[in-house]
A and B are shown apart, each in its own frame.
Chain A
Amino acid sequence: MMAIKNNRLTTEDYNEAFSDIHPPFAHDEGAILEANRCIGCYDAPCTKFCPAGIDVPLFIKQIASGNIKGSARTIFRSNIMGAGCSKVCPVEKLCEGVCVFNLLKEEPIRIAKLQRYSTERAMQEQWRLFERKAPTGKKVAVVGAGPAGLACAHALSLEGVDVTVFEKEEKAGGLMTYGIAAYKVTPEFCKEEVDFITSLGGIDIRLGTELGRDFTLADLQEKYHAVFLGIGVGLTRSLDIPGEKLHGVVDAISFIYDLRTSGYANVAIGDRVAVIGLGMTAIDAATQSKRLGAKEVTLIYRRSKHEKPCTDSQLDLALLDGCSIIWLASPKEIIGENGTVKVLICNEMKLGEPDLTGRRIPVETGKTFVVDVDMIIKATGQEPYEELLSELFIRNRDGKIMVGGEAETNIPGVFAGGDAVTGGKEVVNAVEDGKIGAKAILAYLGLGSEIK
């Protein structure tokens, strides 16, 4: 009898299943050997492909020279969430993917692992790497304590601005805290990372306060000299197919949120799970389903391997965990029994003409097939807060905030960045947006900045 149930494994098995997927260097020697393998490219491809622009050759050289403090400062100066990003960045398509060693058909430098080495040490030993400038008397409100908001807050505080961050959840960190697979970052780490960021001073995070419920944008405009909206995006967008309300159909973001907040044993999982989508979140949902004890996990993706949004190594991770993939398939209908999911009917797709981005559009072939499932996890991208934005009269396109060149929204003094603007990118992109936002706010306030 198939069923969705929790408590499938022993505590030891849960801990094993969710242990750190990218463990750190076991010894300093490993880091030093790896750091010395780096040839220190000039105008380095890794730096160019880092959305936050971390000077990678410099921080690696600093590890090699024994200047770990300098190395950590180099990283954090460009990316205040450099510790978390070392664990969650899809480096195979960013810095490590363009390491020149790839052109020699050799293993790229393990940049993320080296970045983790320095940043973890900085956090463990609570190095004080930055000092705030003298107070400017300016106050800025940041909405959302996710990567964009925190990066913006830190950059502003450095320049002597007092920042208040409003966060609707009970913990800060945004998707880093709530939306990333547990085998990449732990809740404890996320808390330490936030504490490390706020240890600079000048950043007051107010948890459990939500825009539109506890305060309005007008309140903020009145009390602060500027506002930064780093509100992110909401739950997974609806599949818009019959049967979506059946018991057993869950949203990937809520599923991962539960995993991050309830304890592994309390998270119920089906025997046969279908995950819709093939982005990073889909992979995280699929692999974690398997690790929670699901017998079969099938990823369902409407395009082919060539168009997939996840990277090869993420896909390999799912495959190694024993997940299977059905390519060119799109959910058509969910059939239930006694109110619970039983069968997923899919359209067989084929690739048609390319869209504006060059990716070929999937079209129905007219044929269908069925997959027996007892749980469906939707991971087809997150729905932006379109309604909220419209109520605030913030110009947006399909719920994505429209910003000028420097993060300005259509409302003077209101800036935005992160997933709320992009619709959903990596943590590191959000951090960069936060920095850009801070720079724009400082310019708006007539203050200089040394943001790198």
Chain B
Amino acid sequence: MANLQTSFLGIKSPNPFWLASGPPTDKKINVLRALEAGWGGIVWKTLGTQIKNVSSRYSSYNVYGRRIAGINNIELITDRPLELNLQEIREVLKLFPDRAMVVSLMTDNNRKSWHELVKKVQDTGAHGLELNFGCPHGMVERGMGATVGQDPEIAKMIVEWVMEAAEIPVITKLTPNVHSVVPVARAVIEAGSQGLSLINTIQSVTGIDLDTLIPNPNVAGSSTFGGYCGPAVKPIALKFITTLAQDEATRNTPISGIGGVTSWKDAVEFILLGSWNVQVCTAVMLSGFRIIRDLCDGMNNWMDEKGYRNIDDFRGLSVPKLTHWEDLDINYHIVAHINQDKCIRCGLCYIACEDTSHQSISKEDGIPYNTYTIKEEECVGCNLCKMVCPVEGCISMKEQRKGAEYLNWKEFQKRGMPLNDH
């Protein structure tokens, strides 16, 4: 059995799965249920300034007949009294002292407010603070949330205020509503933030009711840009996290990975790209806290099969494998191969290649089943056929190098080798 325990800035948890700040972590009753189910830690829903929520608050993007590829929400930070939250945090800490308890914070942009909030929260005995510089709706219009996270100067200033008062580890949560998270990450690290977490939600419109023409979610006939999360945002999250793992100034700062983690495989990927742990929200909103069992079990089995004993053993291992396009090996060439014994003659590879790729698949008409074969000389190795094929392992990509040596674009160009020759 592999060891799933993690220590994030010294905050221990029995597994790398924390619940992200959000609806599942806004009060004791939920949080206790989550911890009973086995979650490793909690980031308590953002405490801070006074707010008032609207109704409705969520909407989803559904695709291919499946519900919730992504959710967007226009809910704000906690709308319960601060003292009640603090009291409940104390109670939970007493009941589950072995789990990570981090509290998310956001307040008005002045030193006094931040100092007061930080002190009150760390008085509860919480293990860490997460600064919400990412919320992209509502709070933004009041100069908080993503407004802070989009401006390195403001972010740096607030982290400095926080660090003046903080006696426990500080994690800054970053917004993806920027072209790059690196400048803000550098600024908050410089200001003293010990950890980073990302991504927060992405501004979005999930869809429109085609009868009323009102976008979702509908609040009395109007809507507003909501924060998008869930499986659909995972690829974007992985990219942002990788950019921090690649940057000199940010790569040594522990990252808590967030963004569409739904299965243990997603979590492994976040860790392979440099996360120290992961945070989950949408997946539990969809299926409940019980999903923790397979998250842990699946990761454990994978680690056993791969021979990894600890989470740290595989953290960041895929980072060096993400490089610049110009460093890729141009001599590497693959062509598709269709295993006729596995092929179910659906023709999806054919039409994808014929209509949108390189017309590299030939069709021999049959009744009722056609036979599809690859025209190797035409195939550019794009993977599209393999991706659309409904049968795992039916289409494989076979290596047919164009040359034995590694040859990248810069070298290719230097040698004056032929361009646009396909």
Interface residues of A (CB under 8 A from B): 32-33, 35-36, 39-45, 48-49, 64, 98, 100-101, 103-104
Let me know if A42 and B368 touch, CB within 8 A. no
Contact B344 A43 (CB under 8 A): no
User: Least Cβ distance of A302 to chain B in Å?
Assistant: 30
| Given A41-B347, A41-B348, residue A64 in contact with residue B65 (CB < 8 A) | yes
**CB-CB < 8 A to B368: which residues of A?**
45, 48-49, 98
Please give, as numbers and ranges, the residues of chain A lying within 8 Å of B346 by CB-CB distance.
39, 41-42, 44, 100
The complex places the Cα of A98 from the Cα of B369 at a distance, in Å, of 8
**Are B345 and A45 in contact, CB atoms less than 8 angstroms apart?**
yes
CB-CB < 8 A to A35: which residues of B?
A: 65
Q: Which residue of B lies closest to A39 (CB)?
A: B390
In the complex, what's the smallest C-beta–C-beta distance from B327 to chain A, in angstroms?
A: 37
B66 located at the interface, meaning its Cβ lies under 8 Å from any Cβ of chain A in the complex: yes
User: A residues within 8 A CB of B344?
Assistant: 100-101, 103-104
How far is the CB of B60 from the nearest CB of chain A, in Å?
A: 15
Across the A-B interface, the 4 shortest Cβ-Cβ residue pairs: A36-B65, A42-B347, A45-B368, A42-B351
A290 to B369, CA, bound (A): 39
**Assembled-state Cα–Cα distance A64/B370 (Å):** 25
**B286 → chain A closest CB, angstroms:** 17
Residue of chain B at shortest CB distance from A106: B344
| Binary CB contact string for chain B from 349 to 366 against chain A (1 if under 8 A, 0 otherwise) | 011000000000001010
- 17 CB contacts below 8 A, A to B, read A41-B345, A41-B346, A42-B346, A42-B351, A43-B350, A43-B351, A43-B363, A44-B347, A45-B368, A45-B369, A48-B368, A64-B65, A100-B344, A101-B344, A103-B344, A104-B344, A104-B391
Please judge, given known A-B contacts A48-B367, A98-B368, whether A36 and B347 are in contact too, CB under 8 Å. no
Q: Which residues on B sit within 8 Å (CB–CB) of A40?
A: 348
Residue of A nearest to B388 (CB): A39
Output the nearest chain B residue to A65 by Cβ-Cβ distance: B65
**What is the total number of residues of chain B having a CB less than 8 Å from a CB of chain A?**
18
Question: Could you tell me the distance between the alpha carbons of A43 and B361 in the complex, rounded to whole angstroms?
Answer: 14
* Chain B residue nearest in CB terms to A47: B368
Set of chain B residues within 8 Å of A44, measured between Cβ atoms: 346-347
Q: Which of B65, B367, B391 has the most CB of A within 10 A?
A: B65
B348:A42 contact, CB within 8 angstroms = yes
B: which residues have CB within 8 A of A? Answer: 64-66, 344-348, 350-351, 363, 365, 367-370, 390-391
The listed residue (B64, B65, B347, B391) touching A43 by CB distance below 8 A is: B347
Q: Taking CB as reference atom, which chain B residue is nearest A37?
A: B65
Q: In the assembled complex, how far is the CB of residue A246 from the closest CB belonging to chain B, in whole angstroms?
A: 46
- A33-B65 contact in complex given A42-B350, A43-B363, C-beta closer than 8 Å: yes
Give Cα A329 to B94, complex, Å. 84
| Cα of A98 to Cα of B64 in the assembled complex, Å | 23
Most chain A CB within a 10 A radius of its CB, from B351, B367, B369: B369
Chain A residues contacting B363 (CB-CB under 8 Å) are 43
CA distance A175 to B132 in the complex (A): 72
Chain A: CB-nearest residue to B391 = A104
Q: Which residue of B is nearest A34, CB measured? A: B65
A33 to B66, CA, bound (A): 8
Q: A101: which B residues are within 8 A, CB to CB?
A: 344
Name, among A45, A64, A101, A104, the residue most crowded by chain B CB atoms within 10 Å (CB to CB): A45
Beyond A39-B348, A40-B348, A43-B363, whether A32 also contacts B65 by CB under 8 A is yes
Report how far A45 CA is from B370 CA in the complex, Å: 8
The smallest beta-carbon distance between A29 and chain B, in angstroms, is 9
A43 to B346, CA, bound (A): 8
Interface contacts beyond A40-B348, A42-B350, A45-B345: sample of 12 additional A-B pairs, CB < 8 Å, sorted by A: A35-B65, A36-B64, A36-B66, A39-B346, A39-B390, A42-B346, A42-B347, A43-B370, A45-B368, A64-B65, A100-B345, A103-B344
CA gap between A45 and B64 in the complex, in Å: 22
Q: How far is the CA of A43 from the CA of B363 in the complex (A)?
A: 10
Chain A residues with CB under 8 Å of B65's CB are 32-33, 35-36, 64
Chain B residues positioned under 8 Å from A36 (CB to CB): 64-66
User: Measured between C-beta atoms, what is the minimum distance from A340 to chain B in Å?
Assistant: 49
Complex CA gap A40/B351 in Å reads 11
Chain B residues whose C-beta falls within 8 Å of the C-beta of A48 in the assembled complex = 367-368
Inter-chain contacts of B351 with A (CB < 8 A): 42-43
